[in-house]
Amino acid sequence: MATSRALAYLESKKNLAGSACGVAGLVLTLTGVAGTYWPVVVAGLYASGALIAPPDLPEPPRPPEPAEELGFVRADFARLREYVAEVDLPAEPAEVLAGLLELYAAMLEPGWVAGVLATDPEAVHALTRAIRTDVPECVDTYNRTRWWTRLTPGGESPERHLERQLTLLREEAERRTADLRETEARRQQTHTTYLEGRRES
């Protein structure tokens, strides 16, 4: 640890600035300006350079790029699938959830589809939030509410809430995929217009 700190200081701006000033002190010594007090002059100039140099600041944490983030989301999605596979869901919500997970899987498929998704940070954020927070919260609150409902029957069924929540998430995912499809359609149209213009020129 001490060795690494020493090496870091040797490469620091303070040491470099102090060394430059120290070299200037040696030059003064060789030209006879410093006289017999040259060690004090060299040390003083080194200390002055080290003091006036700006400190080395650590690099701020860099948020992952959308394409890099998708790798983490895929890992979270795999864990989500394992989690929901162990949950006993009624037929209707289970069907909606299965369709939703298929849609997520298609969007995260490595290749050009994920490449298109990575160009839209907002879509990546929405997908990340759904996989890491929304779907687990839907399933977890359903399980908890269902347990209490068995003790005190009555009121709106947890199954209806779960189905509605999953349906809303699926509609959101379908809107995202429609937006991405529209982006690709515009890209295709732009290329067609470019080729037409090149033909006419």
Residue linked to tokens 């870091």: 8
* 119 and 182 part of one domain: yes
User: Are the C-beta atoms of residues 172 and 130 closer than 8 Å to each other?
Assistant: yes
CA-wise closest residue to 131 among 180, 90, 83, 63:
83
| pLDDT over 70 (residue 45) | no
Check whether residue 125 and residue 44 sit in a common domain.
no
Q: Are residues 35 and 85 in the same domain?
A: no
Encode pLDDT of 5-44 as tens digits.
655 555 566 666 667 766 766 666 667 666 666 676 667 7
Same domain, 167 and 77: yes
pLDDT in tens, 136-156: 999 999 988 887 776 666 667
Domain membership of residue 143 as a residue range: 66-200
Give the number of domains in the chain: 2
- What are 81-129's pLDDT values in tens digits? 999 999 888 899 999 999 999 999 998 988 888 888 888 888 888 999 9
Same domain, 184 and 142: yes
Do 77 and 106 meet the contact criterion of CB atoms below 8 Å apart?
no
Residue 88 lies in a domain: yes
